Chains A and B, each alone.
Chain A
Amino acid sequence: MHGISAEILPGEIVAIIGPNGAGKTTLLNTVSGLCDVRSGTIRFKGEDIAGLRPDKVVARGISHCPEGRRIFQRLTVEENLVASYVAGRKRPFAELVEQAYRMFPVLGERRKAQANRFSGGQQQMLAVARALMAQPDLLLLDEPSLGLAPKLVSQILEIVLTLADSGMSIVLVEQNVDAALEISDYAYVLENGRCVLEGPSDKLLADPRLREAYLPQV
């Protein structure tokens, strides 16, 4: 990444788009502490969090749902959720688990099943559910629609909208560019580690240059 500046407001959905290798995942990794920052600052609620350990970042209220799911394969659904609960934050464990099973009924039906027995798409649902167990104020979603059936993609996006309406800020990295722009407020377009374009999502959606590069030709 070369000198990227971006911001996200409370309750805002920000989309990060761009080709593979543009630095989208790296950007999320620097925020969540999975990746070192060479220069610059990352401020969250007024404090510099650049270089904080990942667990400290979670404790500040940032959850990261990483690319490739990264769930605990040997644990059950329920154990995955337990392991990701951060005690001492607002809501009790039972309530959060209920919410997770309401969002993704298949997780509730198979709560005692080991995660590695799940299909790829079901593991993706678990990864999203797990990220929410820490009750974040800022949720980083790295390609949540990857490997999901079209119907579930709509469901995930609907969930993202609901979470934002409740005041959560959401950074959405998506290859599904038209969907990402439709539900987000603002978007940054990365190419080769640089931010080449930014603006309100609906304006970008109508922008010919962006349409040409990223959206299917109709």
Chain B
Amino acid sequence: MLNILVTVKVVPKPEEVKVDQETKTLDRGNARSEINPADMAVIETALKLKDKYGANVTVLSMGPPFADKFIKVAMAMGCDNGVLLTDRVLAGADTLATSYALAKAIDAIGDQDLVICGEESSDGATGQVPQGIAEWLDFSHVTYATALDLDEENNKLEAVRSLSNVTEKVRVPLPAVAAIITGAHEPRFMDFERRRELENGNTVKMLSAADIKVDPKRIGNAGSPTIVTGLKQLKTPERKNIRIEGKTAAEKAERIWEYLEKEGILKN
């Protein structure tokens, strides 16, 4: 049977994170966590393939111990196994060290035909990890995919890639990594009964850095070529905030027009 692994990241809700102006560090404060929005489409994509071809689907996340409850959500949606790679030594990783740790975990889990990731995470938003995992594992890769299908006979993955001015259909040999565009598929609801069942026992497998035999020089800060030297809250430009008043829509439209004309906005 086909083995599919989906990567899921648990991220703080973007609107609830601020920069502490004193320390110039991220203030996650009481920011609530969520499954990275792009990854919801990833889970759905994997489950669609499972519905069509039958597959064993494993959810893998790297993050703090509390991420297990989000893995259980993915399992309650229909994924078969959950794995959480959690270890403080993995923290502080940039895209190189992150892709290494995930690739090591995927290699340790073993025998995966297809790895599906989100196009990017809402916190880092670099969109570079899926291709990186593919390179470490010597897998083929496809990015910016909206739909996946299998060519079972030839052991290949078929994907539709949606680029800014091009849509293309590509075929790559398995094993492969595919990165799915945010919102490509509406995720299904979870099965609440299964969610309750998952509360009991060790339903999510925990892995440490030692379990997957990482090279300490390649993880965390030590394995990260890029460093963050500062943070800033981006300021938006000052705006005039003029409230347009009027009794009717026509009156308001007239006010808008007067302003545009006064400022010469619609000239030539």
Does A pair with B?
Answer: no
